[in-house]
Amino acid sequence: MTMRLRPAMLLATCALLAVTGAWPPVAATELRIPPIQFHQRTLSNGLQVLSVVDHSSPNVAVQMWYHVGSKDDPKGRSGFAHLFEHLMFKSTKHMHAEQMDRLTEDVGGANNASTGDDVTNYFEVVPSNYLQTLLWAEAERLSNLNVDQKNFQSERAVVEEEYRTRVLAQPYGKLFNAIDPYSYTTYPYKRPTIGSIKDLQAASLRDVINFHKTFYRPDNATLIVVGDFDQKQLDAWVDRYFGWIPKPALPVPPITVKEPARKKNLRYTVTSATAPLPAVALTWLIPPASHSADTIALQVAAALLARGDSSRLYQSLVYRHQVAQQVGADADGRIGPGLFVVYAILASGHQPAEAEKLLNEEIIWLATQPISTAELDKVKTQLLTSELEHRQTAQGVAFALGNATLIEGGPEHVNTDLAMLQKVSAADVHRVLQKYVTGARSVTIDYLPQATGAAAATANGEAK
């Protein structure tokens, strides 16, 4: 699956809360949540290992994050990093195809993986007595991948069906798939993660071998373990199964191209045979996610615009003017240049231009007019509560650590970004919006249903 990683989440300040079971005073004005107490080390072959002990459930989450994503797809092979991710579930020297499922699902665990622009992560959760088994299995597929032609072809067909499911069968799939190709001119983010049927069909087993050799290596990976285990035991197992894997002599190929600043506003049109209603999306370039002060202020801006029914875009476009049935805003921070995206799916009888005008008005208003403390507090509380919900599970904690480490600039960001969020002011929101959005150039994508392609069922005697 190419599921795009959950956008970097932000946390409110945390100090230790003793969980005593006593009812916290209702008068408490500021909630305190415990920081994630992670343990960190790096093996001599370069493998980074992060771990958090938590005995609250008898499970353990094991995640391998590789510092490779669709931005590293080989030339003429868009979608390859993602296709490769699927192949990591096929055979290795000591495991038969789908044995990873035998070691997880069949013993009461689960596994999956995702590919984004910058990273590919493989994640499992298993009853904690299978931790050693899973460490062996992850070391095995890092060091001993061995895919055959038959498995390669059947899995490539699965990925082609995934393309059809995500891009063709989803009424707004083509729109969201068009955002990156139209938003970047130069940086390799311009290739969609899912790729194209043509490029997928051009891929070969030789590409698989080269890709594994180039990017799947201990010095290009982060292992994250969270849950019910003993730290010393974990360290010994990690040394045993991962320590011997060689660090290749050649460095990982860096991406050196720069995305140039946009010189003018651009507009594109995409059509759909099945979408029942038009849509419009606007994007602007933003700095890398590791520029925390700007990134976090942009996340707050996106939340003010579109998080929940009380947000500004929802209130304007969906509620008051009723030109849209759905709106969204996202500060999509990446390792390289990211995107600030706003979009609207129109309500019946309305056109993209109406929504675009209102989207721009709301953004300009937010970028220039006073923002109340109550409204800022609201989005901070929303972001904190949502993050707490994610942190209820070992898997959720591991994802937060992985995003912090690979995207946001380092594992400490899982805790330090909280303090920064608390300090975001109206002036910060104004500053980043004026710099990256209202004072910069946009790309606009109009998404239009094809006149002949309306495919939705209608009832007899539909009233208008």
Partner 1 sequence: MSRSMKAVHLVLLAAALMASGGVSAALPMAAPTGGFPASPPAPGPVPKLAVPIPASQTLPNGLQVVSVRRAELPLVTARLVLRSGGEMDPPKLAGLAELTANLLSKGAAGKTAPQIAAAAEALGGTLKAAAGWDESAVGITVTTPKLPKALALLADVVRQPTFSAAELGRAKAQAIDDLHLMLSQPTALAALAASRGVFGTGAYGHSRSGTPASLARITRADVQRLHASLYRPDNAILVLTGDITPARARQLAQASFGDWPKPAMPLPVKPVGKTASRLPAILLIDQHGAGQAGVVVAHAVPPRRAPDYYVGVVANAVLGGSYSARLNEQIRIRRGLSYGASSRLEPLSDAGLWLAAAQTKNPSVPQVLDLILAELRHLGRSTASVHELAARKATLIGSYGRSLETTEGLAGQVARLAIYGIDLQQIDQYIEQVQAVTPGQIEAYAHRHLDAEGSKVVVVGDTSRFAATVRKAHPKAEVVEAAALDLDSPLLRMPTRGGLPTD
Among 307, 334, 413, 430, binds partner 1 (CB under 8 A): 307
Q: How far is the CB of 320 from partner 1 (least distance, A)?
A: 9
How is residue 433 written in tokens? Answer: 């919006």
Beta carbon nearer to partner 1, 166 or 430: 166
- Segment near partner 1 (CB under 8 A), from 244-252, 288-296, 422-430, 434-442? 244-252
- Segment near partner 1 (CB under 8 A), from 147-155, 328-336, 361-369, 422-430? 147-155
Kindly identify the residues of this chain, within the stretch 329-388, that bind partner 1 according to CB under 8 A.
Answer: 345, 347-348, 374, 377-378, 381-382, 384-386, 388
The reply on whether position 181 binds partner 1 by CB under 8 A is no
Kindly identify the residues of this chain, within the stretch 37-66, that bind partner 1 according to CB under 8 A.
Answer: 43-45, 56-59
- Segment near partner 1 (CB under 8 A), from 23-31, 64-72, 250-258, 289-297? 23-31
Residue 462 CB neighbours (<10 A):
6
Residue type at position 18: A
- Segment near partner 1 (CB under 8 A), from 115-123, 307-315, 363-371, 437-445? 307-315
> What secondary structure does DSSP assign to 295-307, as a single string?
HHHHHHHHHHHHS
443 and 282 Cβ atoms separated by less than 8 Å: yes
The reply on whether position 74 binds partner 1 by CB under 8 A is no
Beta carbon nearer to partner 1, 99 or 444: 99
The reply on whether position 451 binds partner 1 by CB under 8 A is no
Q: Which of 270, 282, 329, 264 is nearest to 444 (CA)?
A: 282
User: What DSSP designation does 19 have?
Assistant: -
CA atoms within 13 A on the CB side of 146: 10
Kindly identify the residues of this chain, within the stretch 256-285, that bind partner 1 according to CB under 8 A.
Answer: 273-277
Among 3, 209, 353, 427, binds partner 1 (CB under 8 A): 209
Q: Long-range contacts: 290-293, Cβ < 8 Å, 24+?
A: 290/335, 290/407, 290/408, 290/409, 292/408, 292/409, 292/413, 292/416, 292/417, 292/420, 293/420, 293/428
Among 24, 76, 253, 410, binds partner 1 (CB under 8 A): 24
Q: Which of 249, 259, 210 is nearest to 74 (CA)?
A: 210
The reply on whether position 127 binds partner 1 by CB under 8 A is yes
Measured distance CA(185)–CA(444) in Å, rounded:
14
